[in-house]
């Protein structure tokens, strides 16, 4: 009986941990299959973060983030949740940018 309980725990715990990791990486960005204008996948939450609206301004040539980086309007995707999101490549350069539809 004890042996069966130990076996069940040894099988169940890794499965529960794997499920938690998969859920954490699963986001609307990942599920939506979004791609940028170059055809690259936008990726998931590990690569994407919310940009507070106070750090975004609208300029003539696009969205200005943190006062220095400009994302052209043509590269912005509509944000389903109404927030600004920036997805980055491993080198930190922008991969995708999502903006609320009413700001586009």
Name the DSSP letter for residue 41. B
Name every residue whose Cβ is closer than 8 Å to that of residue 86 and which is 6 or more positions away in sequence.
48, 49, 51, 65, 71, 94, 96, 97, 98
**Domain coverage including residue 89:** 2-103
Cα separation, 58 vs 81, in Å, equals 19
- How many domains does the chain contain in total? 1
Say if strands 69-71 and 62-65 run parallel, antiparallel, or are unpaired: antiparallel
* Residues whose CB is less than 8 angstroms from the CB of residue 92 and which lie 6 or more positions away in sequence, other chains included: none
pTM, 2 dp: 0.71
The tens place of each residue's pLDDT in the chain, 104 residues long, gives: 545 443 544 444 343 333 333 333 457 888 888 999 999 999 866 889 999 999 999 999 999 999 899 999 999 999 999 999 999 999 999 999 999 988 76
Q: Collapse the DSSP code of 60 into the 3-class scheme (helix H, G, I; strand E, B; otherwise coil) and give the result.
A: coil
């Amino acid at each position: 009986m004890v042996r069966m309980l130990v076996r069940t725990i040894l099988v169940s715990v890794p499965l529960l941990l794997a499920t938690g990791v998969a859920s954490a990486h699963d986001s609307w960005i990942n599920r939506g299959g979004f791609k940028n204008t170059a055809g690259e996948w936008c990726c998931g939450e590990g690569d994407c973060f919310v940009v507070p609206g106070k750090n975004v301004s609208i300029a003539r040539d696009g969205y200005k983030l943190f006062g220095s980086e400009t994302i052209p309007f043509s590269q912005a995707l509509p944000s389903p949740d109404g927030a600004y999101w920036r997805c980055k490549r491993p080198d930190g350069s922008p991969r995708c940018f999502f903006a609320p539809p009413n700001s586009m």
